[in-house]
Structure 1
Amino acid sequence: MPGNSVKDWNNLHYALAVARAGTLSGAALELDVSHSTVLRRIDALEKALKTRLFIRHPRGYVPTEAGQLLMGAAENMQDQLDLLVGRMQGVDETLQGTLIITTVNTLIPQLMPIMRGFQLENPQVRLQLVADRRHLRLEHGEAHIGIRPGAKPTEPDYVVQPGVSLQNTLYASEAYLRECGPLKSRDDLSGHRFIAPVETYDFIPSLDWLARQVPEEQIVFRCNEFSGFEDAARCGVGIAALHSWCAEARPGLLRMIEPPAEWRTNLWLVTHRDMHRTRKVQLFLEWIKRQLARLPPHIGVKP
């Protein structure tokens, strides 16, 4: 006799979601569960049936012949259930579940109004924000959407769309200006103090300029977190190269020079191909692209 794992419709439901999505991560997004939960359900069902339902490939899950038979039956069951629910309650197209978004911590204050606006439009979607300098692995279901500044992501199977090209320039506090005076140009560095990262970021033009053009003795403070640049500049430590979106959203910082065109940093919207077309992902992408397009020119321009 088959075990309880076969009799549990949830296990068949999970298997059907994997067959439709082709990957565990795609099924996890649709079911609003973790990647590991889907894997556990599939393993339990295969163990109970004593047969392999999916062939595991590097690019996804493909049903075996036995899996195709079971998925066909599960499709019929799902169709009948959907029909019954539709007759009893009407078709409910309200979005539900959790959408995981990852970005760098410096962009959190700027993204919060955008995320709040999305939730007002879609109140049943729970947003989860993961701030990490590490690029979370979308193919493993660590996040559904990445919002990444800098170099264009090149991971295979990722869908990468331009968001906005962020203006960057040099900022300092009023106290610093009273002490050291204005910065007349990028060539007039004498008598000024600067804030720089610990590591080298040659793919970020403004930070690459700092590393190449500012004498080491004028670098008076280094920090391994981008948010520390802003805090140090606001305290009068020195001049920092910052995204204008970040620097001009909070009081206490003044622009030292006009943003050089070659210092712009592209902001990328990144999804995995298996989740890119899901409804929640598409709605959020459409929403954030509209909001980014409304940024004033001194903050962001069309890439």
Structure 2
Amino acid sequence: MSAQIKDWNDIRVAYEVAKRGTLSAAAEALNVHHSTVLRRISALEESLNTRLFHRHARGYVPTDAGKMLLGVAEYLEDDLERLFGQLQGIDQQLSGNLVLTTVSSFVPLLAPLLREFQDLYPNITLDLLVEPRRLKLEHGEAHIGIRPGRAPEEPDYVAQRISPLASSLFASKSYVERYGSLTDLSQINNHRFVSGSRSLHHLPFLNWIKEQVPPERIFYQANDVWAMYQGIRAGLGIGLMSNWAASQDQEIVIPQPLNIEEPGTDLWVVTHRDLHRTSRVQAFLEFFKEAIKKQQRLLLSWDK
């Protein structure tokens, strides 16, 4: 039966003894008691069924078998040092293509973060697919989905809730100058509203418009959230905007005095389980979650 090494640390201990010549010097280098060094040397010799050292009054001298083993240990140490150096620089060595998908309304927030990500990982190329529909990660249409809305229900997806996203009613300054502000529910029939078309009715943040505003008071609808925001900015009516998006347009849009119970929505980052642990995906997920934490205040509240 071939010999079995029960603990590879025993080889490291033997290597230190061979380099330094005494149990006490090896023990000091390893920061252990000299009796631990003696016990490990004995255990290694027993597992290999051979003597590795000649014991002398002056110290320990490797036998021929010991020289063979310790020569290999020296190569292993050199290889490990090179490996550790390579691992420390692996972030810069990550390369290849990463395909992301999101919705148009999130691009202004995402684009600066992608620049920061590429500063960290300059050899990773990025493809951003802006789609209102959810791409099929299981078919390889994208590696990572960044989506506001409800939690994905696909069983093979790994979905992580990154942040809540708050929304409020906003109108352009030009609209308010023309029609006034919305201060009370009784004024709804005196105002014009902007909303999403049927394809966006699955978004929770639009529920207030659907439930409170008569269809005849909705004068502009869009099948894209960003296009809906542009309608609000242009003065087509009052509508719901994410607080983050509105904060980028403070010279144009202003919040309405009417406080509403708006359910908001959540921001999700989604991967397929087959790709979730790959190095590029993990590098982006770690970066993105930390980056969004720094943006949390803007995502949750209107910040004048």
User: Where on the TM-score scale, by shorter chain, does this alignment land: which range?
Assistant: 0.5 to 0.7
C-alpha separation in 1, matches of 2:186 and 2:298 = 22
C-alpha separation in 2, matches of 1:266 and 1:288 = 15
Alpha-carbon RMSD across the aligned residues, in angstroms, is: 2.4
SS state at 1:153 partner = coil
**Paired residues for 1:146-295 under 5 Å:** 146-186=145-185, 188-199=187-198, 201-250=200-249, 251-257=251-257, 260=260, 262-295=262-295
**Paired residues for 1:89-168 under 5 Å:** 93=90, 94-168=93-167
In structure 2, do the counterparts of structure 1 residues 257 and 167 end up closer, same or farther at CA, with 3 Å as the change threshold?
farther
**Does the 8 A contact of 2:196 with 2:225 survive in 1?**
yes
**Does the 8 A contact of 1:172 with 1:234 survive in 2?**
yes
CA shift, 1:124, in A, is: 0.8
CA shift, 1:185, in A, is: 3.9
C-alpha separation in 2, matches of 1:223 and 1:103 = 17
Aligned partner letter, 2:107: I
Poorly superposed stretches of 4+, deviation over 2 Å: 90-93, 185-188, 200-206, 257-263, 296-301
SS state at 1:175 partner = helix
Query: Relative to structure 2, which stretch is displaced further, 259-268 or 232-241?
Result: 259-268
**Does the 8 A contact of 2:208 with 2:262 survive in 1?**
no
1:187-242 CA-partner distances (Å, limit 9, x unpaired)? 54242110122206454333122122112221111222222211111111111111
In structure 2, do the counterparts of structure 1 residues 200 and 96 end up closer, same or farther at CA, with 3 Å as the change threshold?
closer
In structure 2, do the counterparts of structure 1 residues 160 and 206 end up closer, same or farther at CA, with 3 Å as the change threshold?
closer
| Total equivalences in the alignment | 216
Query: Relative to structure 2, which stretch is displaced further, 204-213 or 276-285?
Result: 204-213
Tell me the percent identity.
37
C-alpha separation in 1, matches of 2:153 and 2:119 = 33
In structure 2, do the counterparts of structure 1 residues 260 and 101 end up closer, same or farther at CA, with 3 Å as the change threshold?
farther
Aligned partner letter, 1:255: P
C-alpha separation in 2, matches of 1:300 and 1:275 = 31
**Structure of larger gyration radius:** 2
**Does the 8 A contact of 1:99 with 1:281 survive in 2?**
yes
Query: Relative to structure 2, which stretch is displaced further, 258-267 or 176-185?
Result: 258-267
Partner of 2:299: 299
In structure 2, do the counterparts of structure 1 residues 109 and 197 end up closer, same or farther at CA, with 3 Å as the change threshold?
same
Normalized against structure 1, the TM-score is what? 0.65
**Does the 8 A contact of 1:200 with 1:208 survive in 2?**
no
Aligned partner letter, 2:253: L
C-alpha separation in 2, matches of 1:108 and 1:201 = 17
Structure 1 segments unaligned to the other structure (5+ residues): 1-82
C-alpha separation in 2, matches of 1:103 and 1:134 = 9
C-alpha separation in 1, matches of 2:200 and 2:97 = 33
In structure 2, do the counterparts of structure 1 residues 192 and 133 end up closer, same or farther at CA, with 3 Å as the change threshold?
same
Normalized against structure 2, the TM-score is what? 0.65
**Paired residues for 1:70-89 under 5 Å:** none
Aligned partner letter, 1:130: L
In structure 2, do the counterparts of structure 1 residues 284 and 278 end up closer, same or farther at CA, with 3 Å as the change threshold?
same
C-alpha separation in 2, matches of 1:253 and 1:206 = 18
C-alpha separation in 2, matches of 1:263 and 1:174 = 25
SS state at 1:297 partner = helix
C-alpha separation in 2, matches of 1:291 and 1:265 = 19
CA shift, 1:259, in A, is: 7.0
In structure 2, do the counterparts of structure 1 residues 112 and 261 end up closer, same or farther at CA, with 3 Å as the change threshold?
farther
SS state at 2:297 partner = coil
Structure 2 segments unaligned to the other structure (5+ residues): 1-78
CA shift, 1:258, in A, is: 7.4
C-alpha separation in 1, matches of 2:165 and 2:297 = 9
SS state at 2:188 partner = coil
C-alpha separation in 2, matches of 1:249 and 1:261 = 23
